[in-house]
Amino acid sequence: MRYLTARKRAEGKGASHTGTHHHWHMTLSSVALAFMVPTWVYIFGSALGGTRDEVVASFARPFPAILTALVLIVGMRHFAMGATMMIEDYARGTSRKLGIITAYSLSAVITATGLFALLKIAL
């Protein structure tokens, strides 16, 4: 016979048994963004105000192109998970489902559009 306390049974599990995974994903993505975004802002800021050829030459190099892609992917995934958490906390019923679908769709559209534009510039 196993004797498990209520705490031991609940440890590591949220209401849907994914709370810990969600928390770690949000923590890791926020730390990654904390390092990537200032670097990306510096690169973007140095290209800002230049001619079209200078901007294309700047983002055609591997580091700025890869960093921009990573900021887009990680940032939009972080946004989608954070928006979903907020919607789950404050909305109920159909508005909850529509809000979650909208958040993920918006995230996917922004990511796809940004990556397409980056590929057009980089290649």
If one counts every other C-beta atom within 10 angstroms of the C-beta of residue 86, the result is 12
pTM for this model (two decimals):
0.82
For residue 68, what are its two tokens?
């921009």
Q: Determine the average pLDDT of the residues in 56-71.
A: 95
Position 101 pLDDT exceeds 80: yes
Which tokens go with 21? 């995974």
12 is a domain residue: no
- Determine the structural domain holding residue 77 and report its residue range: 18-122
Count of the separate structural domains present in the chain:
1
pLDDT of residue 81 exceeding 90: yes
Output the domain CATH number for residue 67. 1.20.1300
Who contacts 13 (Cβ-Cβ below 8 Å, separation ≥6)?
19, 20
Does 13 fall in a domain? no
25 belongs to a structural domain: yes
Q: Kindly state the tokens that stand for 23.
A: 């928390």
Question: Helices (DSSP H) in 1-123: which residue ranges?
Answer: 6-10, 19-47, 52-60, 62-90, 93-122
